[in-house]
Structure 1
Amino acid sequence: MRTLCSSTLISEAMVIGFAALVAMRLSHVSAATLWSVSGAAMLLCVLLCGVLSRRGAVTIGWALQIALIASGTIVGMMYPLGVIFAGLWWASVHYGRKIDVIKAARAAAPEAAAQA
């Protein structure tokens, strides 16, 4: 799960950075506020990659997805991009957990055969 979720979060951090550049030209929000919020979101994406195995990390990831969708109020194109990334986050979590179960089963199979 970590690999899939991390790749989604790193891609999301890049999109947030590009969206901040667009928002500087298209919105009335000050550059300091814009980069403070965007920088914090980008930093959260990167830091979240390191703690994905901890409890509550996926929930924080979902909160980040909601914030990305809400950023559409500043840059309209972020509504569809936020929905796309929320779908990618769901797929990363859902299929990542399935992959983890399969890997655990494959790792346990040789041990079970050796004991028999």
Structure 2
Amino acid sequence: MSEQAGRSPRRGMCAAVLSLEGIVVGLSTPVMATLSDVSLGTALAVGLGLAAACFVVAGMLRSEAGYAAGWVVQVAAVALGLLVPAMFVLGGIFAALWATAYFLGRRIERERAERLAYEAGTSTDS
């Protein structure tokens, strides 16, 4: 198997989405602290905590539990809109990007496995 065939497109795309989401959520922390009725401590805990969770989950994507945690992060990012209304939109965008990366990545992995199985079957027939 070549090095390229061993890489997971789903993992790469989902990790990229989570990493960018972590940056956006982290940058929402000052907005939360200044524009909403949230105390500075709460804003730091929620904003930076969710940002850290994005980066931790991006590193957990070697197992299916990491992907489940990724879905939880998406729900939390949308729910952050309760504190910063703009996060309803941004969280929704990132949830859509996550879903696209997850399902498209699974499809690519499935089609890659089918192609490899076909190539293995045709090479033994020769």
TM-score w.r.t. length of structure 2: 0.82
In the other structure, the counterpart of 1:3 is: 12
**Does 2:80 align with 1:71?**
yes
1:14-52 Cα offsets, whole Å, 9 max, x none, are 110111121121122222221122222111111111221
SS at 2:64 equivalent:
coil
Q: Gaps (5+ residues) in structure 1?
A: none
Give aligned-pair identity as a percent. Answer: 32
Aligned residue runs from structure 1 range 57-68, under 5 A: 57-68=66-77
Matched pairs, number: 116
Q: Gaps (5+ residues) in structure 2?
A: 1-9
Counterparts of 2:113 and 2:121 in 1: how far apart (Å)?
A: 12
1:56-99 Cα offsets, whole Å, 9 max, x none, are 22221111111111111111111111111111111111101001
Q: 1:41 aligns with which of 50, 54, 67?
A: 50
Greater than 4 Å deviation, 4+ residue runs: none
**Does 2:28 align with 1:13?**
no
AA partner of residue 21 (structure 1) = P
TM-score w.r.t. length of structure 1: 0.88
AA partner of residue 8 (structure 1) = V
In the other structure, the counterpart of 1:82 is: 91
